[in-house]
Structure 1
């Protein structure tokens, strides 16, 4: 890892208490910069009630699908070997700033995505809002990003699907890996139990908190204790016979953050309810068993049964006191078969039973991306304590017909049953593939999608239990071609239309009153690292436009993550078996922000900002060069070093303001940094 200590360590939480905590934490730690861009930084994260989803491989043509192997992702410069952080260099992916790897894909928010790891749910995919992933990088076999119009086998989301496939444990001998870097360390042990059974167990823990105590932000005055995180992943594989397999899974993660807002600090002056000591503790644990069966003649079955527990305890000044615990039991079924030659059918379903216990005492600021002003100090104090029970169900049907050698058609439908809000949705998905030559394929896909609202928006007292799901329609056209010597290219044009976004309402807290749209084109040129030769990498270029509209007021504005031009050039050169060098250059249009044009004194005598047009201005363009060198000393010992932001570009994340908003100064992101790590295999 790098030596950078992020100032945006909000974690992915799961219920309303966690969402309110995330909102207050974002305000507490990013207020100076967020004052200029409140929609992006101050609004509460769109956190959902826990959802359990199942991974399946789409039989459809690879429309809007980017596939990378774990080997090529692990050595991408600027990631410190964290496989999941490399996804930000894929086409159509935008991120908020250097401190976050949470992806906003093709005009959708990071919270609009679904994340799958080896067929099972994960509570959250990134620690501290994007600092490091919860997945052990050495276990990742393949990573797939479905940017739009994904098939019916995937669940309820209006954004994208990130599907991670982990490898099986080794079966030759007992062994392991130890990886030590600047911010943390991780370890993996694996091996056979007998001829039919094997296992792995991986654990990761930050240790920078053992070396440093606190970090003070000079602009806001916030004193942050160094964040702590840990996670684990375990798998026990039992090959019953050649056709049937059982696997037992145990995964979990936890994050802890403490900070203090001194009473005389700039932030305490701007938001008095945030003054004092604050602490956020969140974590999840999943245990499951998965049965894979192959019945021959193209018939296979996959069944998963398990439980996920999500916990959160949060306190933020006098603005929030909350505890919550969510217990979800899930059952998943997937059946695949070939009814006739040229036909592939997949059917699946899921049942989830959820219990959520929560106790919340918080300021209900009702912040969304449609309101520029997010003020906790003037918000009403609301208390809620209850135990909620809900059941959710999903079912899908997918069929692919290979009509001729050149033409294929995919049809499907996805049905959602929401037992909490009492909603049902049946949505069609379809795709067409034309292989004009053995190396050239044209694709088209279309689908309708829905998504449960953010957790805090549907909890009684804080939200509105009469909300509808968010809706989206995706359309994609693409062409891909494979060239000689491992080269390939793919060009896609897409459009997403969104509806039923949630906006604040003074009477019922929230209503479905927003919409949006995004459209763009993406080009990916790639050189496969397994095709021979010393050079590999890719160029990803995205041109897009993303807008939001408040349908109640009629006001339209740029999406928080609207970056019309995004470019990534990743190059890796393997000089020998021992040495490999890499470079990654990234560029994107400056992110939009809402300017502060003045100030006023409210009825309480507090100075409050006056905002200009929502997301009416942009930060300067962002660009950065990362360099990396890998040295394999022996089969057991490897080293890497990285130079992050090699030419010391001062990229801005926003602006900080003094207490009365009369002066501002730019807030820069990562400076030039040196990162290194040691990998030991045994």
Structure 2
């Protein structure tokens, strides 16, 4: 569930609690008691537990934390009541500095739980695909990684080889953004899509908003992924770990000064060590050395009612090297040895949240650093950046209505260096190769302000929004109006509709005067969606959403290249080469002369059928969509498919629990990606080789992708924690899925590039 949904609901709950027991959490004394309530059997936090001392009352939050202010000093008795647990009676002595009382509740044997069900007011946003970390970490095909389960949701196209990147409703990967606790991050997955940059065990919620999102998010014209990390548990120290075939991780959480909680995590892959031992060595042999790191550190204290302070630091570091095996190990680690790819970033932030009666406040400044580079023997392209920003918002509840506003500032210093042939501009002849060394640094800032409201009229809610942005790189102001509407048709059915305008600024390399076009402006899209959500018995849900998007001012190459598209040399060739360019565009830039003259359009229907039971989880997602683009209008090529246009994407998956075993399966089907066929050939006597003549641009398609994944989990629960063994096998049938096309020297023979073979992931996880 996204922050936009649970913050208003939390404020409403606190308001109702205050109406029933005014000043319940704050008395006239000078003492203070804080702590965490957990389940004695599992160690999990117990949210919603009633905690009281005398006439003072409060309830625990989602992390099981509570705070009572104004208690008497000296010995008191703390009473904790929660459904399904024995009543907890804890003697506490309150001193001058207060007291910490961490309570463990014993599950009640044969307890009868009476549930009173109600539904929160309908929210106006389009249907959001919200999943929890615990829900998806056991789904097949994810490799015990919650974020990889995003690829099984509606509206998400399949990326070849599982390389990562998100293609939402036909938008380019560079057109969608990822946020962790409100901080924009450059990547979602480590190199090759092997794992996400943030461990699943430290995530609380994952929200996928494929399009038509509200004014809170900006600088993107595709969709957004909103990740919410969880706070640590402060009752005692817990240390967990996970070891698989590709990486190992360690995590810990426990009490911190100021009645707070620490959360720590560290993970490293060891594929480089395995390949170094497995690959042959000898004169001239190549050594492949990929590896990734990531780490997390977080501190939390307080509650939303009294003021919640969170400080966080997280980083991701990827390195891939190809070096000759006869190079000394110390030299192979050098930046100028062989081919070297590096992608790393870090973010540090402090967030303060407070609920004051009917007002919610949040302020979060942050700073970071990053580097993306590809070098061959010390020469290549590198981008280094020092981003920083602040996000602040306020929400005011007025009866059933609310109004929110905020500022969203992001900027910093960016530098890049490159050596190579500059991009030719229109009318510029490049008869002789010319190498240019380029190094530049630039400061810029994007300043955004937004407001949106929720007006409730009977069973309907109308949410108008407006966002104003000033983009530093393109020196322009943009205004984006947005409108969402939702109405409860019946007690089980909700209608949702949205329309909005979305702008996206150019990249730093796009406006470089040597390798780009300094006159490039922002691109934009108008998105619409209309859907209905039906809640069925037995915890089943059916959601159907139709969508359409029209893009303009897209950056496109307006200089005709000499390499035919069918030969795999341009963005119009399709296949692995073009798609790789789409995936790396946001990180490296295109380094080509582009103008804001392209257009795009997409439309389709998303269907999600989901059922969650006490012993099993499953869903069926289907997307029918078409995504098209135009290039330089002066070449009059007309509309053609986007290189990741996939008309049909179907995913069926489910898991079930059988005693201590958990079994799951996932079946995926996706239309093949388009590519440009060879229409003919001729022999180039000057180059002394055959050249291809293009057929119709992106007019052919690869065969369909079909893959079956299986997963088996076995758990052992002990007093000291839970041990889980898992086996996740992707492409269990070892089906040959084509991912691209290649030709022999004279283009008389065509063969497909094979996708990933059967890929097992075996691991063990310990949870205290």
The C-alpha deviation readout for 1:87-113, integer Å capped at 9, x for no partner, is 000001012213323220111011111
Contact between 1:366 and 1:510, CA under 8 Å: does it hold in 2?
no
Contact between 2:546 and 2:604, CA under 8 Å: does it hold in 1?
yes
Q: 1:418 matched to which residue of 2?
A: 471
Q: 1:14 matched to which residue of 2?
A: none
Q: 2:676 matched to which residue of 1?
A: 594
- 1:44-83 to 2 correspondence within 5 Å? 60-83=123-146
SS at the partner of 1:171?
coil
Q: Cα distance 1:378–1:144, how it changes in 2: closer, same or farther (>3 A)?
A: farther
Q: 2:734 matched to which residue of 1?
A: 648
Q: Give the drift of 1:359.
A: 2.4
Q: 1:43 matched to which residue of 2?
A: none
| 2:766 aligned with 1:680 | yes
| 2:412 aligned with 1:347 | no
| 2:348 aligned with 1:287 | yes
Contact between 2:473 and 2:505, CA under 8 Å: does it hold in 1?
no
Counterpart of 1:304 (choices 364, 376, 380) is 364
- 1:194-593 to 2 correspondence within 5 Å? 194=257, 196-213=259-276, 225-239=288-302, 242-259=305-322, 277-296=338-357, 298-316=358-376, 321-338=380-397, 340-364=398-422, 380-404=434-458, 406-506=459-559, 509-529=593-613, 532=614, 534-550=615-631, 551-555=633-637, 556-576=639-659, 578-593=660-675
2: distance between equivalents of 1:599 and 1:317? 36
SS at the partner of 1:654?
strand
Q: Give the drift of 1:341.
A: 1.8
Q: Give the drift of 1:295.
A: 1.2
Residue segments in structure 2 that go unaligned for 5+ positions in a row: 1-120, 326-336, 561-591
Q: Cα distance 1:97–1:353, how it changes in 2: closer, same or farther (>3 A)?
A: closer
Output the TM-score relative to the length of structure 2.
Answer: 0.73
Q: 1:13 matched to which residue of 2?
A: none
SS at the partner of 1:495?
strand
Q: Give the drift of 1:455.
A: 3.7
The C-alpha deviation readout for 1:422-478, integer Å capped at 9, x for no partner, is 011001000111101111101110000011224432222111111111110101000
Q: 2:256 matched to which residue of 1?
A: 193
2: distance between equivalents of 1:665 and 1:331? 51
Q: Give the drift of 1:205.
A: 0.7
Contact between 1:363 and 1:377, CA under 8 Å: does it hold in 2?
no
| 2:758 aligned with 1:667 | no
| Aligned-pair Cα RMSD in Å | 2.8
The C-alpha deviation readout for 1:160-189, integer Å capped at 9, x for no partner, is 100011111012210122111111111111
2: distance between equivalents of 1:166 and 1:593? 40
The C-alpha deviation readout for 1:282-319, integer Å capped at 9, x for no partner, is 211111111111111x201111112111123431369x
SS at the partner of 1:213?
helix
Q: Cα distance 1:240–1:82, how it changes in 2: closer, same or farther (>3 A)?
A: closer
Q: Cα distance 1:447–1:482, how it changes in 2: closer, same or farther (>3 A)?
A: same
1: distance between equivalents of 2:509 and 2:439? 13
Q: What count of residue pairs does the alignment treat as equivalent?
A: 594
The more displaced of 283-292 and 232-241 is 232-241
2: distance between equivalents of 1:207 and 1:171? 32
1: distance between equivalents of 2:309 and 2:130? 27
1: distance between equivalents of 2:747 and 2:287? 23
1: distance between equivalents of 2:432 and 2:324? 18
Counterpart of 1:657 (choices 725, 732, 743) is 743
SS at the partner of 2:294?
strand
Q: Give the drift of 1:493.
A: 0.6
SS at the partner of 2:184?
coil
SS at the partner of 1:84?
helix
Q: Cα distance 1:126–1:619, how it changes in 2: closer, same or farther (>3 A)?
A: same
Contact between 1:279 and 1:314, CA under 8 Å: does it hold in 2?
yes
Contact between 1:365 and 1:380, CA under 8 Å: does it hold in 2?
no
Q: Give the drift of 1:506.
A: 4.0
| 2:181 aligned with 1:103 | no
Q: Give the drift of 1:60.
A: 4.5
Contact between 1:566 and 1:588, CA under 8 Å: does it hold in 2?
yes
Q: Cα distance 1:189–1:287, how it changes in 2: closer, same or farther (>3 A)?
A: same
Q: Give the drift of 1:666.
A: 1.6
The structure that has the greater radius of gyration is: 2
| 2:200 aligned with 1:147 | no
SS at the partner of 2:150?
helix
1: distance between equivalents of 2:153 and 2:763? 24
2: distance between equivalents of 1:240 and 1:494? 39
2: distance between equivalents of 1:392 and 1:91? 31
Q: 1:176 matched to which residue of 2?
A: 239
2: distance between equivalents of 1:572 and 1:511? 48
SS at the partner of 1:421?
coil
Contact between 1:95 and 1:102, CA under 8 Å: does it hold in 2?
no
Contact between 1:248 and 1:289, CA under 8 Å: does it hold in 2?
yes
Residue segments in structure 1 that go unaligned for 5+ positions in a row: 1-57, 263-275, 368-375
SS at the partner of 1:93?
coil
Q: Give the drift of 1:604.
A: 5.1
The C-alpha deviation readout for 1:590-625, integer Å capped at 9, x for no partner, is 111122343653855565543322211101111111
Q: Give the drift of 1:523.
A: 0.9
2: distance between equivalents of 1:59 and 1:428? 22
Output the TM-score relative to the length of structure 1.
Answer: 0.82
